[in-house]
Amino acid sequence: MNMRQGLALDIDETLAKTTHYWVERLQLEIGNPEGLSVDEAVRKYHLAEFVPYWQSEQAIALMVEMAGSNEVQEGLPLIESADTWALKVHAVIPIVAYITMRPTSVMSGTHRWLRSNRFPDAPVFARPESIEFSQAPHWKGNLVHTLFPTVLGLVDDRPSVVEAFPSDYQGTIFCMGKRLHHAMISA
């Protein structure tokens, strides 16, 4: 693949307020026994999958449906200023890839969302359907490792992704603004 050197970005909770959308739908369609606002629920649980009263078959089915819907990806709210932030970064170090644990089946909705929010044009790597979601952090860590040094580092929100990187990774992982480990960017 002929790519410039630069950074890869995660999408969900790095650029898109995916959990806000999910929590709003789950509160409306499954229930909100604590009476929390969407913001309060996100602050308390971080991800919808961690909410103890949304572990029912019905709740999980709704999460699976949302995860697999191109229309849902296309309509996700943006994290405030993520679009302008991405352009500022891109002017200094190119954004050369988007790497997401979303399944490849929602690639088209993901592309449309990135385009409609004017994110820098770059290839999207999504999780192959053969990789189960539980293995997705390892898939992502290995992929970013393989793409080094074209992809010099990854911006991501999930600690489980950071933990899944091979121990000899030479790039830089930015976890929600915190630079955690690994060698300096040498570009």
Residues at the site binding Mg ion, with contacts judged by CB under 5 A? 10, 12-13, 157
Residue 78, SS3 per DSSP:
strand
Question: Is the CB of 13 or the CB of 24 nearer to Mg ion?
Answer: 13
C-alpha to C-alpha distance for 168 and 182, rounded to whole angstroms: 9
Question: Is the CB of 53 or the CB of 85 nearer to Mg ion?
Answer: 85
Report the nearest approach of Mg ion to the CB of residue 18 (Å).
Answer: 8
Question: Is the CB of 10 or the CB of 24 nearer to Mg ion?
Answer: 10
Question: Is the CB of 12 or the CB of 24 nearer to Mg ion?
Answer: 12
Question: Is the CB of 50 or the CB of 53 nearer to Mg ion?
Answer: 50
Report the nearest approach of Mg ion to the CB of residue 156 (Å).
Answer: 6
Contact 164, 131 (CB under 8 A): no
Report the nearest approach of Mg ion to the CB of residue 12 (Å).
Answer: 4
Give start and end residues of each alpha helix (H) in 75-135. 82-92, 107-116
Report the nearest approach of Mg ion to the CB of residue 15 (Å).
Answer: 9
Q: What interhelical angle do 18-29 and 57-67 show, nearest 10?
A: 140
Return the structure tokens found at 51. Answer: 């909410």
What sign for the dihedral angle of Cα 73, 88, 47, 99? Answer: positive
C-alpha to C-alpha distance for 135 and 123, rounded to whole angstroms: 22
Report the nearest approach of Mg ion to the CB of residue 49 (Å).
Answer: 12
